[in-house]
Amino acid sequence: MSGATILDGKALSSRLLAQLRERVEACQARGVTPCLAVVLVGDDPASNIYVRSKERKAAKVGIATRDHRLPATTSTQALLDLIASLNADDSVHGILVQLPLPDGVDEQRVLLAVDPRKDVDGFHPDNLGLLMLGTPRFVACTPQGCMRLIELAGVDPAGKRALVVGRSNIVGKPVAQLLLHANATVTIAHSRTRDLEAEVRRADIIVAAVGRPELIRGEWVREGACVIDVGMNRVDDGGSKPKLLGDVEYAAAAARAGSITPVPGGVGPMTIACLLANVVTAAEATCS
């Protein structure tokens, strides 16, 4: 189909997890077992699957997890009380509040309540601000995974045109900052960008994180570009189960790109591996 290098996030995440195992053992030798507290409110099926995957991989590398599953009727105040207790618990190094939260829960208040030193998702304004200054404590997990995949492709962002499609606080804005710190010339495109095709055509690096299936057409991708597809869009095509599509038209893009991530198997596995890396970093700070 193409000569594009397929950026295997599963294989790269496995290597990262093996390295984490060594770091966890070093912490344990100093009397500290890295611990992640997971807070899941409600019964969202996708969130349940994602949390189970995180906990399985944490166990493989020796990270302890504490599971706090709360009903969808949980109040904002009850959730804030739980987070306060986790903040005060020195044996907990990372706190993950699984999003989305149910309607009626003040998501912003909850995220702000997490101690920035335990904010292993990298969503707290303190951590986003440190990232902007170029002195990050924790980098949001998906953007961190994107940068590792760009490195795997053998692409140095310095001096290259990088296009980020999407401007969320979770992916778009943080990955744009990381690319900027890596000396790329960065453009952020979004729903009001007038000529997305023209922006894509001139980009050496494309990070697609807009959440619209195959928005970026393959013929727009310039020859040799590095394409990182963050999209995970479930589309009903009449089959027995929804089809999973990225934000990029994969086959046509792979025919032109120098390197590209598959969906699934690209960015997704790296997100979890980078989350666990942040937990270990938080634990190391307490035993240094």
**Any binding-site annotation on 167?**
yes
Band of the pLDDT at 184, cuts 50, 70, 90? very high
Is 50 exceeded by the pLDDT of residue 1? no
What order do you get walking across the sheet with 226-229 strand by strand? 5-6, 259-260, 226-229, 205-208, 161-165, 185-189
Return the structure tokens found at 66: 């504490």
166 is in an annotated binding site: yes
Q: What is the pTM of this model?
A: 0.94
* Superfamily (CATH) of domain 140-268: NAD(P)-binding Rossmann-like Domain (3.40.50.720)
Active site residue 54: yes
Distance CA 111, CA 96 (A): 9
- CA 103 to the chain's CA centroid: 23
The per-residue pLDDT for 288 is 65
**Cα–Cα separations (whole angstroms), residue 138 to 116, 186, 272:** 9, 21, 14
User: For this structure, is 98 an active site residue?
Assistant: yes
- Residue 48, pLDDT above cutoff 90: no
Give tens-digit pLDDT for 222-242. 999 999 999 999 888 777 788
Question: pLDDT tens digit string along 247-269?
Answer: 999 999 999 999 999 999 999 99
Residue 260, φ and ψ in degrees, nearest 5: -155, 145
Q: What is the pLDDT of residue 130?
A: 97
Q: Name the helix (H) or strand (E) containing 287.
A: none
Contact predicate 96/275, CB 8 Å: yes
- Cα-Cα-Cα-Cα torsion 129, 119, 169, 231, nearest 10 degrees, comes to 140
| Rounded alpha-carbon distances, angstroms, from residue 74 to 116, 119, 127 | 23, 21, 27
81: CB partners within 8 A, 6+ apart: none
Q: Are both 31-115 and 140-268 of the same fold? A: yes
pLDDT digits (tens, 9 = 90+) for 57-85: 999 999 999 999 999 999 999 999 999 99
What is the DSSP code (8-state) at residue 63? -
d(CA 72, CA 43): 7
State how beta strands 161-165 and 185-189 pair: parallel
Predicted confidence (pLDDT) per residue in 99-116, tens digit: 999 999 999 999 999 999
Q: Which of 118, 119, 121, 204 is catalytic?
A: 121
CATH code of domain 31-115: 3.40.50.10860
Q: Report which of 196, 207, 204 is spatially closest to residue 159, judged by C-alpha positions.
A: 204
Tell me if 2 is assigned to a ligand binding site.
Answer: no
Where exactly are the structural domains of the chain?
31-115, 140-268
